[in-house]
Amino acid sequence: MNNSQTHYRTCNLCEAMCGLVIQHDGQRVLSIKGDKDDPFSHGHICPKATALQDVYEDPDRLRQPMRRTAAGDWEPISWDEAFAEAVAGIQRVQAAHGTAALAVYQGNPNVHNTGTMLYSPPFVRSLRTPNRFSATSVDQLPHHYAAYFMLGHQFLIPIPDIDHTQFMLILGANPLASNGSLMTAAGVETRLKAIQKRGGKVVLVDPRTTETAELADAHHFIRPGTDALLLFALIHTLFDEGLVDLGRLAAFTSGVGQMGELSAEFTPERVAPHVGIAPAAMRQLARDFAAAESAVAYGRVGTSMQPFGGLATWLINALNILTGNFDRRGGAMFPTPAIDVVGILTALGNKGSHGRWRTRVRGLPEFGGELPSSALAEEMLTSGEGQIKGLVTIAGNPVLSTPNGRQLDEALTGLEFMLAIDIYINETTRHAHLILPPTTGLENPHYDLVFHNFAVRNTAKYSPALFPPQAGQLADWQILHELRLRLAGPSKKRRRDLHQRNTPPQLLDLALRVGPHKLKLRHLQANPHGVDLGPLEPCLPERLATADGRIQLCPEVQLGDLPRLRALLDAPAEAGLRLIGRRDLRSNNSWMHNSQRLVKGKPRCTVWMHPQDAAERGLADGQTVRVRSRVGEVELPLEITAKIMPHVVSIPHGWGHGRKGVRLQVAQAHAGVSINDLTDDQVVDVLTGNAAFSGVAVEVVGFE
């Protein structure tokens, strides 16, 4: 007898929002395949999706609260006991040292979880601490800066209209491995090939010959950290050759003439020695971009996670604006999602913020209510008033995902109290005094609150939970809500507190009803494959949130960072090796390595080096080498390849599971090393405070 049942849902493991068909028997998963009827992904699936089953069934996954004993071991406790101890620990730290003595860190998985996205904001506010950190400042913070200062809202981030463009310039991104990032684009390989099939071109600028580079019509190597110089050279060419044409944008854009003046000194000839691209190639790239029927420039981690990330991201927007490829078909556009996060936050008076407070030690500025995560360890280790003595982590592993992870590792050992809301005892949570494990993935209902706002097409989809939680398990939102209520103490229910009166599906229904498409949750429930809401459409100037309703092409904040870029331009071209990261289709940050199917095969945690650099150092392919930086060193196998430019080396992100006390059996058997034992917490993008992972100075040596 066949008891197979069918369940449709959106994969929540990366940004692509791929639709899945899951066959199950009510208790276990039988198969996971792509949903051909999903109007967004059209059946596309990547290897990670099958790992949803592995996470659900993982024997290492925690299913009840755990308390660290005096002997350093772990013991299970009841939820009531766990909540009482969590609240007591938080209150004890803040009573002794002040509210700022407690910090909170939220990791990347939060934005893939509906319940956490809805219920973590009120919980974090209830902690009353300015020391809020998240993965935002080790990833995409420059994008929020550009959106806030140019367009008036930190979440009004332009998205490439990849399905209609004729020329796509990709800088520092590898969408064939990431499935898109701040460009939710399921089946991105098919979408890129479609550009070429309709007669368009794809051009990549990257220090490595990535999977995307192999598909592209042209690929230019670039020295890490010099993208802002390249972009200024392209803009210089536009003005120099009379190629600037804003079209309809001219009526509501300020600063065009000023941008022309700023770009005058950044000639292709001057920047060429720094970026490593010939002047003629830069000029031709600018001409081709301007001449295309439609074009879009798109940059991601390679442009944002570097010392000039804020300037590079600003100039990508400027390049699109100056050629009229902004808010038009085939250019950089803005989704109109069923749940409009930008609209909701604007209505609540929250467009973003900057510099309301700063970190105690280095003076790095707040943005959007958070401080740069590069400062987290030093705020724990530096004594004095305001020193961080306690920490709450929510689905985060900053020991592996923030710069100088070993320093943070050390800092965590000195905390008076640490609470982790997480499903694993990993490199970070092993330091916690208490771990509260939520349900995950297949046990949770799901709606992509964040990634519909970054999608290349407007769609909406709701996925109910596949499996009910096991006895004694709680969802993220239930944990966060209970902690918040207990921290607040006895009080009357507040009528206007939506979180106290509603569950996540009820909150989703309210948000859908007030959204631009006036949907209801029951409509999505009746359409389990998802609902197509159409292509991206022009929406400016109506959607601009700036004070004067105009695009600000030259914001003062960005201009204030130009002396630093001019100093780079005037200095001799840098020598020595520079470190960059590397992403793999089967890997997703630091937490997907406990799935055997995702780590099997040839070891992937190797350091890539160009043959010329290896020969100069007498190094051989496959040998174990030491890679050193200012903050530390790691040992790993060398992989010699011409797929990386000379004077650049590459190590993938997310590995380093060999630390004592980690309880991830599969991951520890494939431990690798952490690139963030080399990246430097003191090297940040000065403008935004974002971690500067790309371009760290290193040396590579063999063993004598």
For residue 696, give the CATH number of its domain.
Answer: 2.40.40.20
Q: Is residue 555 situated within a structural domain?
A: yes
Rounded-to-integer distance, Cα 680 and Cα 619, Å: 25
- Residue 590's pLDDT is 83
Q: Give residue 195's identity as a one-letter amino acid code.
A: I
- Residue 493's pLDDT is 52
CB of 9 closer than 8 Å to CB of 463: yes
Rounded (10°) CA dihedral 48, 51, 52, 57: -170
Residues in the chain, total = 704
Q: Is residue 275 situated within a structural domain?
A: yes
Q: Is residue 89 situated within a structural domain?
A: yes
CA distances from 186 to 5, 6, 457, 512, 537 (A): 25, 22, 10, 23, 19
Of 57, 72, 98, the residue at which a domain comes to its end is 57
In sequence order, the β-bridge partners of residue 156 are none
Rounded-to-integer distance, Cα 124 and Cα 106, Å: 10
Q: Give residue 334's identity as a one-letter amino acid code.
A: F
| Tokens standing for residue 620 | 């051989």
Same domain, 320 and 342: no
Q: Is residue 569 situated within a structural domain?
A: no
Q: Is residue 147 situated within a structural domain?
A: no
- Secondary structure element (H or E) that encloses residue 399, with its range: helix 398-401
- Secondary structure element (H or E) that encloses residue 201, with its range: strand 201-205
Query: The domain spanning residue 42 has which CATH number?
Result: 2.20.25.90
Of 73, 37, 135, which is closest to residue 530 (Cα–Cα)?
A: 37
Q: What is the DSSP letter of 495?
A: T
Range of 227's domain?
A: 159-333+545-564
CB of 392 closer than 8 Å to CB of 134: no
Same domain, 288 and 426: no
Same domain, 358 and 486: yes
CA distances from 383 to 130, 386, 417 (A): 17, 8, 16
- Residue 495's pLDDT is 52
Same domain, 89 and 211: no
- Secondary structure element (H or E) that encloses residue 304, with its range: helix 301-304
- Residue 1's pLDDT is 46
**pLDDT 10s digits, 32-89:** 999 999 999 999 999 999 999 999 999 999 999 999 999 889 999 999 999 999 999 9
Same domain, 684 and 590: yes
Query: The domain spanning residue 393 has which CATH number?
Result: 3.40.50.740
Same domain, 549 and 593: no
**Structural domains counted in the chain:** 4
- Residue 120's pLDDT is 97
DSSP states of 331-361: SEE----SS-HHHHHHHTT-S--EEEEE-TT
Please give the angle made by the CA atoms of 534, 537 and 543, to the nearest 5 degrees: 125
| Tokens standing for residue 134 | 């998240």
Within 10 angstroms of residue 25's Cβ, the number of other Cβ atoms is: 11
CB of 398 closer than 8 Å to CB of 408: yes
Same domain, 346 and 436: yes
Rounded-to-integer distance, Cα 625 and Cα 67, Å: 39
Same domain, 416 and 462: yes
| Tokens standing for residue 578 | 């520079």
Same domain, 255 and 202: yes
Query: The domain spanning residue 227 has which CATH number?
Result: 3.40.228.10
DSSP states of 592-604: -TT-HHHH-SS--
For strands 159-160 and 132-134, give the pairing.
unpaired
Collapsing DSSP to helix, strand or coil, 401 comes out as helix
CB of 299 closer than 8 Å to CB of 171: yes
Within 10 angstroms of residue 424's Cβ, the number of other Cβ atoms is: 24
**pLDDT 10s digits, 600-611:** 999 999 999 999
- Residue 496's pLDDT is 60
Same domain, 33 and 132: no
Low-confidence ranges of the chain (pLDDT < 50): 1
Q: What are phi and psi of 663, to 5 degrees?
A: -115, 65
Q: What are phi and psi of 25, to 5 degrees?
A: -115, 20
Same domain, 381 and 521: yes
DSSP states of 18-79: -EEEEEE-SSSEEEEEE-TT-TTTTT---GGGGHHHHHHH-TTS--S-EEE-TTS-EEE--H
Q: Is residue 154 situated within a structural domain?
A: no
Q: Is residue 611 situated within a structural domain?
A: yes
Same domain, 192 and 294: yes
Collapsing DSSP to helix, strand or coil, 627 comes out as strand
